[in-house]
Amino acid sequence: MLRVTYSGRWHTEGCTENIQAVGVYYLYIDNELEGGALKFRPSVSPDKNYAEMYNIEINHYIMPETDAAIVFDNCLPHRFCSIRNSTSIARRRTFLNFFVVCPYYPIATLSISDLPLVSYERCQTMLKNIEDKNGQQKLPDLVVDKILSFLEKMWQTDMDAKEFHSRVRHEMVHEKSGWAGIHYGNSGDTVFIKSAND
């Protein structure tokens, strides 16, 4: 994107998929992009005034880097802080999300709405293009094939993935998750309220 700023919104992953943990692997982050830290806070925390009075740090930040992974418990609401491209040249940040589903409540069946947002072909290309310091393919073909074996029902073409992505974005925009304050006289808690669909 050229000369654009983007901020994520507070969320946890999934609605009914029983996602317990999240892994994000950053394949590439353009050095010209500014910001973009991953911001976390507990789902229940003291209200702002109480936290300030007792010097309690509520928000925690991790700045992602190329070829690094961040893994966290899905009970933590999170968002991406503002990412800016101040240049007139398109910049990119490429990452793969992985979700650990509760083994006691597995996802029963895959339907079209459960498919990833990139095509099988694109995912294979991204995994094979991860390079080490010498410019060589970092992930052995055996590892790439094993990852792809879990993704047999992915979109076959980029056009199919883009169409589904636009439907998912529409749903995300209309989701109603957010923070609410519960006060007990002079103090209270700030609580993350999930969407009615979660």
CB 56 within 8 A of CB 146: no
Asked whether the beta carbons of 118 and 151 are under 8 A apart, the reply is no
pLDDT band at 112 (very low <50, low <70, confident <90, very high): very low
Phi, psi of 172 (to 5 degrees): -65, -40
Decide if pLDDT at 7 tops 60.
yes
Q: Beta partners for 72? A: 22
Type of residue numbered 111: S
Return all residues near 170 (Cβ < 8 A) that are at least 6 apart: none
User: In this structure, what token pair is assigned to residue 40?
Assistant: 């976390």
> How far is it, in rounded angstroms, from Cα 57 to Cα 62?
14
Q: With b meaning 16 or more CB within 10 Å and e meaning fewer, what string describes 1-19? A: eeeeeeeeeebbeeeeebb
pLDDT score of 127? 85
Name the residue with tokens 């095509």.
119
At the fourth CATH level, which superfamily is domain 1-105?
A: q2cbj1_9rhob like domain (2.60.120.620)
Q: Alpha carbon 17 to chain centroid distance?
A: 15
Q: Angle, nearest 10°, between helix axes 141-149 and 120-128?
A: 150
Given this model, what pLDDT does residue 139 score? 84
Tens-place pLDDT, residues 117-141: 667 777 888 888 888 788 888 888 8
Domain boundaries, the chain: 1-105, 109-184
Instruction: Give 15-64 pLDDT, tens digit per residue.
Output: 777 889 999 999 999 999 999 999 999 888 888 888 888 998 999 999 99
Report yes or no: 124 and 145 within 8 Å, Cβ to Cβ: no
Best CA proximity match to 39, nearest among 52, 18, 58: 58
State the chain's mean pLDDT as an integer: 80
pTM for this predicted structure: 0.62
